[in-house]
Chain A
């Protein structure tokens, strides 16, 4: 029997940890709060160091905390990050996503800055400012930057945030041997603008029950119970992070997979390791390719989805081609799975848009922490609730209390 409006909006008869109010995926006020309490406080994986290999190389990054950043490798080879804004009149300094330049020069009035963020030239400085202002007064704003966990460049807008290692904790430990085996390099960078909430896409990486979405997963894993596919378990780490145990994927059972010939140093043949980091970063190492998903939330229903594929710097052209082929089979804009994943999370974004009659979202599967258990999502939302000071199941409780008091 179908439900009426009251029944439809009733809270599920489950612990409040096992469902979420759909408003957390669509409310602009909650999104604005996420920006202050989460986006501006956490470490974001911005780029990989291979994307700026030489002194003078730079990369731009649109930070989810509404900051335009430029990441620079200085003459001392150290990577630093600055706000990509000229301290003179607030223009973007760098317009292109990458490049190499001895100095960063603002096109507007040719103010120039070096890789240390120091202002090194102000045209007609003395004529205009006399002794009232000098180059030392107008250096760039530096943003905290750390390199870690396989050469990734992480940034944090909060000068007082704990160090990166403290925030990640032990979540990436079981992938560290593979991440640190050899220097890596970015082979693909794919960016897509999607009309959905960033947490919904990250949810898809946090639960494997959506195996049912993918013919590929059903054939390679679910129909072969002896592969150990269902025996993989989630491990939850402090901070909302979670990992899924390694498995040996029976790719040979699926002749169109193209996988299985090439591996990854330290990873068992046909192995697979996955780590989800709060608030929306996924490390996914599958046989021969490391895939990194990151997100740039722009609005509750608008997100830039970033997708990287990495190989090894030592790869020959032939090996690189094979890694790209392996990746293309299931990932990438023409891959079997990515299209399905993004269709599903975009469909959620449409159906649960702000003002819709969406119901409470269930994350209630309990299967002894194995992969169809939804502990990954529950653990994530526990951290979200802690940081927001709101329950994901009842995000407006404090407003209700305040209204009653008034």
Chain B
């Protein structure tokens, strides 16, 4: 019998993706991603009245980048993701879900520990069921925030 996924399992799964990214457990995050995973970050710029795609990577590209990340100079300040799942649409077979979440990302400075809001936006996720477990097939981070200061190498 094929196992299906419930709304609460999907919600818990989205929060687990956030937790692993918060912990900078990038391998652990990838374990939650499907082999065909894709990830993109977009933002709408009212200045040019266009949607901009600031990141657009397949699973292989992300894996390669994660391997190289320790060799980069990067802001080590932790990012904390707060997602709130607002809508879950599970298909009839219970094998695939479209999930919308609101997102706030906070940055806590290593020096002094002050926390500031880094970005707000949304997750638009596609979650697939693989061997009875939810897996992230696609994540679209749709940002409202466009000034990210010096930026980040970490996925939001």
Contact = CB atoms under 8 A, between A and B. Distances in A.
Interface of A: 50-51, 59, 96-98, 186-194, 213, 215, 255-256, 258, 321, 324-325, 328, 332-336, 338-340, 342-344, 346
Interface string B42-59: 000111111011111100
B105 to A, nearest CB: 12
B46 A98 contact: yes
B152 interface: yes
Given A332-B54, A334-B55, A189 B75 contact: no
Interface stretch (B7-15, B29-37, B65-73, B96-104): B65-73
A345 to B, nearest CB: 9
A186 B74 contact: no
A191 B152 CA distance: 14
Contacts of B146: 190-191
A256 B53 CA distance: 18
Given A188-B54, A332-B151, A339-B150, 4 more contacts: A186-B50, A255-B64, A328-B55, A344-B73
Contact of B61 (A97, A256, A333, A344): A256
B124 interface: no
B41 to A, nearest CB: 6
A190 B147 CA distance: 7
Most chain-B Cβ atoms within 10 A of its Cβ — which of A186, A190, A194? A190
Contacts of A344: 73
Contacts of A343: 73-75, 150
B46 A339 contact: no
Contacts of B75: 339, 343
B146 to A, nearest CB: 7
A258 B73 contact: no
Nearest to A50: B48
8 contacts: A186-B48, A189-B47, A190-B54, A324-B52, A324-B56, A328-B54, A328-B57, A336-B153
A334 B73 contact: no
B72 A215 contact: yes
B150 A342 contact: yes
Contact of A340 (B55, B57, B73): B73
Chain B residues touching A, range: 20 to 34
Contacts of B46: 96-98
A339 B49 contact: no
B153 A339 contact: yes
B149 A189 contact: no
A192 B56 contact: no
Contacts of A59: 47
Contacts of B45: 188-189
B149 A193 contact: yes
Contacts of A335: 151
A334 B53 contact: no
B114 interface: no
A333 B151 contact: yes
B148 interface: yes
B73 A98 contact: no
A357 B64 CA distance: 42
A321 B53 contact: yes
Contacts of B48: 50-51, 98, 186, 188-189
Contact of B151 (A51, A97, A215, A338): A338
